[in-house]
Structure 1
Amino acid sequence: MTASPFFGIAGAVEVPGAIDAGVPSHYGNPNIEQRRLAGGAAVVDLSNRGVLSVTGPDRLTWLNSITSAELRFVQPGESSETLFLDPQGHIEYAAGVLDDGETTWLLVDPQAVEPLVAWLNRMKFMLRVEIADRTPEFARIGFLADEVPATIPVASGSGIPLVWRDPWASVVAGGHQYANGQHPGADWNWKEALVARTALGDVASTHPAAGTLAAEALRVAAWRPRFATEVDEKTIPHELDWLRSAVHLAKGCYRGQETVAKVHNLGHPPRRLVMLHLDGSDSVLPTHGAPVRAERAGEQVDVGRITTAAIHHELGPIALAVIKRSVKPDAVLSVDEDGQLIAAAQQVIVPADAGAVADVPRLPRLGAVRRP
């Protein structure tokens, strides 16, 4: 694909080695861009990310049978999210889901496009479904706003505007939230519009733009997990509180369902997602994968890793990290960035007792005598 026309905007910069390669990371001032984006006054170029289509009369029941969400009853124009798990419950892919009545659109991170298309084609069997990579035709534009800007030339399918509304703002039917108290995701009104690639230049020339650094900082502050950053080969949904928006706990069988049910009802996820407030005095921001360490018996011990770090326009340096469940909430943590230790204060997202202990009452044993 050709270079994004958003690089034609003055000040456009792509940070070397960025997770979102191929689109501008910022336009000179990420903090100002964040404020504009948070206020609904800017859009983000996500044209590097994937767009897949699934057509055919069996598409929703088929996707429902192989993924974690309840998709059988998705109505035209409704948005959802789902996870593709391996038989042990590890996350293999994640996708935003939008159906227009004839086509189900899957929004995925760029590195998932080719392997997911190949995997879906292997899983078709004799069902009436067809899978296609539509990324060369359609680009994604992200924004935070109650309404879709009228000037964005949103593509349509069967007369339905192709706008995906992130379900993270609330716990979906059949889902479960491990995080306690008021959730910052309640204010997360993220949307993504599909536009024809031929119209991408018009969007770039007519809308104030924010870079992906601005979008990522706001995502971190909303505790919102992302496949490209928070997931590794061992990740299960419970560790990221992803039962909140992408898992239906009462639907029928699917790959990985046994692990999802066992961990939620009988066990605990081995790791847990936290947000870290980082010491910014040295102006060093940790990179993806940087070790998180805790002090034990006078030594620094590795207890997890940074998944996404960002500078928020109000909170300052923050990060999402996945750490061991056994790490105490008041543990003194630090992040090792090339030998430099950055002090980090932990804000719990997934509690250590997430799973069997959470919201599952203990039943008295048969024949047991209750003492007064």
Structure 2
Amino acid sequence: MSAAMSAPETARRIAAALPDAVLDEATGLPLHVGNPIAEQRRLRAGSLVLLPRDVLRLSGPDTLPWLDSITSQAIEQLAPGASTESLVLSPEGRIEHVMRLHQTTDALWIVVDAGTGDALETWLTRMRFYKQVEIERPEVVVVGTAGEPSAELAGAPAWVDGWPEVAPGGVRYGEPTGEPWRWSELILTPAEAEGIASDRFVGSMAAAALRIAAGRPSLAEVDERTIPHELDWLTTAVHLAKGCYRGQETVAKVHNLGAPPRRVVLLHLDGSENAPVAHGDEVLAGEKPAGAVTSAAIHDELGPIALAVVKRSTPADEDLVVRTADGTAVAAGQQVLVPPTAGHANRPPRLPRVGAVKRPAVPPA
């Protein structure tokens, strides 16, 4: 899966003007604006973070039933003001796009990670055929908050995350982490975004720490092999009882009869080495490779934490080790998010083969 690319120009211009902002070279948006730990508390209280997002606006009478038929979530009856999320899957059930959806009275807004909007727009256009659906790419800025949006932004379209609650038609394999997660992404016009006072903004490091602590999956956890079950994404992004869509066979088969080959875990890292853990660092179970880190942060209460995707066979009660880029071994306690027993929801009992049925011995005449 491609990494997120540069944010829209307006967002980068706002970021460049923020005092004390340390910018991410990849996105041009603030990593922090002075103190990333304190910024987590500000974000919970309603401060805003500039997000690297692409946005599509879909309109027309066929929008909801058409998108319902080609993606993983049931959205045909999505009411104005409602939010959900949906996945575009490959024919093999692997995640290709992650869409945050918000319905207004006249349009469906789709928010995706920056750098993925072009590919999604191309795919949707190719799949539209003769449906009455208009696809636009408006010039907007997306900001996130873990608190209550301020009154002046209350009228903006806003995707409200439902995690960790199970959406209708979904299923959760693991228990929530216990960390609160309340998250919204507001879609603003350039004028609205540029009118926000600079002291209202915090950096993306604060948002990442809150997300990781909540066990909330993102595109950072996705690679070319990822299926939704591995990240517990059947919780909010997949409807198990809707009609056919691309990749549905894999979704149903793994949930009902099989098990996901990998599973996401929350790692509580030993900070005594002061070794930075990053995306792609190897995770070991004993001396054996088990998986890789997908996201890492320092949380204001939990300390250094990370999400990692490991093999399903990795023992759930075993402490792990992260090997950083410079070879440092960092001890990691494992908090199970997707248990090794995930799946097998309707697995039929195994019956003995006909040839293997034992017959009573016939006594000799």
If the length of structure 2 is used for normalisation, what is the TM-score?
0.90
Say whether residues 1:93 and 2:86 are aligned partners: no
Equivalent position of 1:44 in the other structure = 49
C-alpha distance in 1, partners of 2:149/2:46?
Answer: 11
Aligned CA-pair RMSD: 1.9
Equivalent position of 1:167 in the other structure = 162
Q: Counterpart of 1:184 in 2: which secondary structure?
A: coil
Say whether residues 1:235 and 2:226 are aligned partners: yes
Equivalent position of 2:143 in the other structure = 141
C-alpha distance in 1, partners of 2:59/2:305?
Answer: 41
Equivalent position of 1:355 in the other structure = 343
Equivalent position of 2:280 in the other structure = 289
Paired residue for 1:10, among 3, 19, 22?
Answer: 19
Q: Counterpart of 2:292 in 1: which secondary structure?
A: strand
Q: Counterpart of 1:69 in 2: which secondary structure?
A: coil
Extract unaligned runs of 5+ from structure 2: 1-8, 353-365
Equivalent position of 1:27 in the other structure = 33
Task: Tell me by how many angstroms 1:41 deviates.
Answer: 3.4
Equivalent position of 1:68 in the other structure = 72
Tell me the alpha carbon deviations over residues 334-364 of structure 1, each in whole angstroms, 9 at most, x when there is no partner. 11112111111111000001000x5x58669
Task: Tell me by how many angstroms 1:152 deviates.
Answer: 2.7
Amino acid of the structure 2 residue aligned with 1:314: E
Say whether residues 1:126 and 2:130 are aligned partners: yes
Between the two proteins, the alignment pairs up a number of residues equal to 343
Q: Counterpart of 2:191 in 1: which secondary structure?
A: helix
Query: Which stretch of structure 1 is more off in the superposition, 94-103 or 59-68?
Result: 94-103
Equivalent position of 1:334 in the other structure = 321
Paired residue for 1:194, among 187, 192, 198?
Answer: 187
Larger Rg: 2
Identical aligned pairs, as a percentage? 47
Q: Counterpart of 1:244 in 2: which secondary structure?
A: coil
Amino acid of the structure 2 residue aligned with 1:33: E
Tell me the alpha carbon deviations over residues 272-320 of structure 1, each in whole angstroms, 9 at most, x when there is no partner. 000001111122221111111111xxxx221101100000000000000
C-alpha contact 2:256 2:347 (8 A) present in aligned 1: no
Equivalent position of 1:219 in the other structure = 211
Q: Counterpart of 1:246 in 2: which secondary structure?
A: coil
Say whether residues 1:344 and 2:348 are aligned partners: no
Task: Tell me by how many angstroms 1:54 deviates.
Answer: 1.1
Paired residue for 2:83, among 76, 79, 84?
Answer: 79
Say whether residues 1:245 and 2:231 are aligned partners: no
Q: Counterpart of 1:25 in 2: which secondary structure?
A: strand
Amino acid of the structure 1 residue aligned with 2:194: G
Amino acid of the structure 2 residue aligned with 1:233: E
Task: Tell me by how many angstroms 1:102 deviates.
Answer: 2.0
C-alpha contact 1:223 1:320 (8 A) present in aligned 2: yes
Task: Tell me by how many angstroms 1:208 deviates.
Answer: 2.3
Amino acid of the structure 2 residue aligned with 1:86: S
Task: Tell me by how many angstroms 1:110 deviates.
Answer: 0.5
Extract unaligned runs of 5+ from structure 1: 156-161, 367-372
Equivalent position of 2:178 in the other structure = 184
If the length of structure 1 is used for normalisation, what is the TM-score?
0.88
C-alpha distance in 2, partners of 1:41/1:122?
Answer: 40
Task: Tell me by how many angstroms 1:203 deviates.
Answer: 1.3
